[in-house]
Amino acid sequence: MPEPLFVTDGLTKVYRSGDVEVWALRGIDLQLFEGEMVVLLGPSGSGKSTLLNIMGGLDRATSGTARFRDHDLANYSERQLTKFRRDHVGFVFQFYNLIASLTAWENVALVTEIASNPMAPEEALEMVGLKDRMSHFPAQLSGGEQQRVAIARAIAKRPEVLLCDEPTGALDSKTGIVVLEALSRINEELKTTTVIITHNSSVRQIATRVFSFRDGCIVESLTNDTRLKPSQVSW
């Protein structure tokens, strides 16, 4: 198996409000490898998004270690975390966060203008099947198309890892499959390590590995010997 890309050891996250402590993560030990497609499953509040935010440099752990290659994220300053996110990580969220006054091409170009080795906006949009929709504004696109623009924006800077928090959560099953097909193509063709958070247990079938979360812990880890294509998944 390739070298680990992410390694966490004893990772915890505790939120405090007065005398009340809420444990979002309880000692997470995890390795993610280059080129994997990993699915994180679990109910709301189980710790999936908290882990994703720490891996992406959007939040800090309370204790434990989180490493990306030779980057010790736990000890990084805010400036170092910002550079880490810019250079290595692409994010896709449930809500698309597109700028309404910009076309699909212009939304993607916002990222390519600050990246060190970007792909052309039209290339990123072609990868998600939107070559013919580049000049459309978000209001002229369906929800699935807007999500694919968001994915194109995330991959345009050629990130090593793509972190997706409920990317199909606001979509119907048919549209969700189209979005998963776009993510699978990126994973296969660009070898981008891809992590997908979902409530939908059917999505596990497209992953290399699946981690199930409950109460801030990983309660199950599975490897798929045979991965399904998104079009083969029943929702």
- Radius of gyration of the chain measured on its C-alpha atoms: 17
Instruction: Look at residue 148 in the predicted model and tell me its pLDDT.
Output: 94
Instruction: Look at residue 53 in the predicted model and tell me its pLDDT.
Output: 96
Instruction: Look at residue 60 in the predicted model and tell me its pLDDT.
Output: 93
Confirm whether 32 is domain-assigned.
Answer: yes
Instruction: Look at residue 1 in the predicted model and tell me its pLDDT.
Output: 57
Count the domains in the chain. 1
Alpha-carbon separation of residue 131 from 105, 125, 134, 135, 145 (angstroms): 9, 6, 6, 9, 11
Instruction: Look at residue 70 in the predicted model and tell me its pLDDT.
Output: 87
Confirm whether 169 is domain-assigned.
Answer: yes
Kindly report the length of the chain: 235
Rounded Cα–Cα distance for residues 54 and 151 (Å): 20
Rounded Cα–Cα distance for residues 172 and 179 (Å): 11
Report which secondary-structure segment, H or E, holds 110.
helix 104-112
Instruction: Look at residue 210 in the predicted model and tell me its pLDDT.
Output: 97
Convert the pLDDT of each residue in 91-109 to its tens digit.
999 888 899 999 999 999 9
Rounded Cα–Cα distance for residues 76 and 82 (Å): 10
Rounded Cα–Cα distance for residues 81 and 2 (Å): 25
Could you list the residue range(s) of the whole structural domain that residue 186 is in?
4-92+159-232
**CATH code, domain carrying 14:** 3.40.50.300
Buried b (16+ CB within 10 A) or exposed e, 90-101: bbbbbebebeee
Regions of the chain where pLDDT drops below 50: none
Nearest by Cα to 36 from 68, 70, 6: 6
Contact (Cβ atoms closer than 8 angstroms) between residue 154 and residue 196:
no
Confirm whether 137 is domain-assigned.
Answer: no
Rounded Cα–Cα distance for residues 130 and 122 (Å): 9
Confirm whether 225 is domain-assigned.
Answer: yes
Confirm whether 105 is domain-assigned.
Answer: no
Confirm whether 110 is domain-assigned.
Answer: no
Instruction: Look at residue 51 in the predicted model and tell me its pLDDT.
Output: 97
Confirm whether 174 is domain-assigned.
Answer: yes
Instruction: Look at residue 94 in the predicted model and tell me its pLDDT.
Output: 86
Report which secondary-structure segment, H or E, holds 223.
strand 217-223
Beta carbons within 10 angstroms of residue 161's beta carbon = 20
Confirm whether 129 is domain-assigned.
Answer: no
Say which residues have a Cβ less than 8 Å from residue 225's Cβ, sequence separation at least 6.
Answer: none
